[in-house]
């Protein structure tokens, strides 16, 4: 595993306390990356930076930043234009306030960074860490990274302070979908069955139980190519069931499927009571023939 490299150095300003820290990326992408190559000989494909007006190849030293104002017009900004901005050399993480974590919508979170105390800052670092944990709150901060001011939070994760950069509120799009204007109601029976499905699939999230199956299969293809062996095709995944028209039927089937996946047997349907056998009718007694009248005596 490669050693982490600090991407930023500065200080957390906590009231009158200053905590020198280093910033490290807390995450890394595991995507398998490819180069574009010439199909026939494997040569790397190179791209040149050319000007769209005169067609000349342009070096990095001659490249500036342009802002399109529309109508084919462009405002050109040079390094000197950025030099006077106040955040380019700012090395402070300013704590603005402390709030409950549940006050922050997760849609605002962008990227996570670890903070490491630098020099003699371990004591105030641990103090802030423990105070945050005891208060059960996160710190709202501002930080300048790569010439951009960003809103962020400071929270505790595994005894380390983690900085999560956030989107600004105006960077979150408002969902505008037609169905939101429709009057759609759910029946109580449907809602109860959906709740039953949620209960049957409830669990505790353990991140290490989930894997990127596509990446693993792609790596297997690459390894097989390198080793010159045959690629074993993975078992086909079970096809998703076709969309059901009957919502209740789909929910019931989903509950049964979830229970089966967990090894739970569905409750057997109550057995129908056998109908009691019909009582045999008592045999009809034949009428006793009337005794013949005694013969009259002579």
Q: 265 pLDDT exceeds 70?
A: no
Q: What confidence tens digit (pLDDT) does each residue in 5-38 have?
A: 898 999 998 888 899 999 999 988 888 888 898 9
Rounded distance, CA 29 to CA 231, Å? 26
Which tens digit of pLDDT belongs to each residue from 104-132? 999 999 999 999 999 899 999 999 999 99
Lowest mean pLDDT, pick from 12-16, 79-83, 217-221, 261-265: 261-265
pLDDT tens for each residue of 195-207: 988 888 888 888 8
**CB-facing half-sphere around the CA of 83: CA atoms within 13 A:** 3
Residue 125's SS3 state is helix
Residue 271 has pLDDT above 60, yes or no: no
Closest CA to 223 of 8, 91, 32, 11: 32
- Long-range pairs of 188-195 with CB within 8 A, sequence gap ≥ 24: 189/248, 190/247, 190/248, 190/251, 193/248, 193/251, 193/252, 193/255, 194/251
Q: Is this model's pTM higher than 0.75 or not?
A: no
């Amino acid at each position: 595993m490669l050693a982490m490299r600090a991407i930023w150095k500065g200080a957390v300003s906590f009231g009158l306390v200053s905590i020198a820290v280093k910033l490290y990326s807390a995450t890394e992408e595991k995507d398998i990356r490819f180069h574009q190559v010439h199909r026939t000989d494997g040569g790397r494909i190179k791209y040149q930076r050319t000007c769209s007006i005169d067609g000349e190849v342009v070096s990095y030293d001659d490249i500036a930043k342009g802002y399109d104002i529309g109508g084919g017009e462009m405002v050109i900004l040079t390094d000197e234009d950025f030099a006077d901005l106040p955040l380019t050399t700012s090395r402070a993480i300013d704590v603005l306030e402390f709030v409950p974590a549940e006050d922050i919508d997760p849609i605002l979170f962008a990227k996570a960074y670890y903070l490491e105390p630098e020099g003699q800052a371990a004591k105030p670092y641990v103090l802030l860490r423990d105070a945050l944990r005891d208060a059960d709150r996160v710190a709202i901060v501002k930080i300048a990274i790569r010439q951009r001011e960003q809103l962020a939070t400071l929270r505790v994760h595994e005894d380390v302070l983690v900085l999560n950069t956030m989107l600004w509120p105006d960077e979150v799009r408002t969902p505008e979908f037609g169905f939101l204007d429709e009057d759609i109601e759910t029946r109580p029976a449907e809602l109860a069955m959906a709740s039953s499905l949620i209960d049957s699939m409830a669990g505790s999230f353990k991140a290490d139980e989930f894997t990127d199956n596509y990446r693993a299969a792609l790596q297997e293809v690459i390894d097989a190519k390198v080793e010159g062996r045959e690629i074993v095709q993975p078992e086909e995944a079970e096809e998703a069931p076709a969309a059901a028209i009957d919502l209740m039927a789909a929910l019931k089937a989903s509950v049964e499927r979830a229970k089966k996946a967990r090894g739970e047997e569905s409750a057997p349907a109550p057995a129908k009571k056998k109908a009691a056998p019909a009582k045999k009718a008592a045999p009809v007694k034949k009428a006793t023939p009337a005794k013949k009248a005694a013969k009259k005596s002579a």
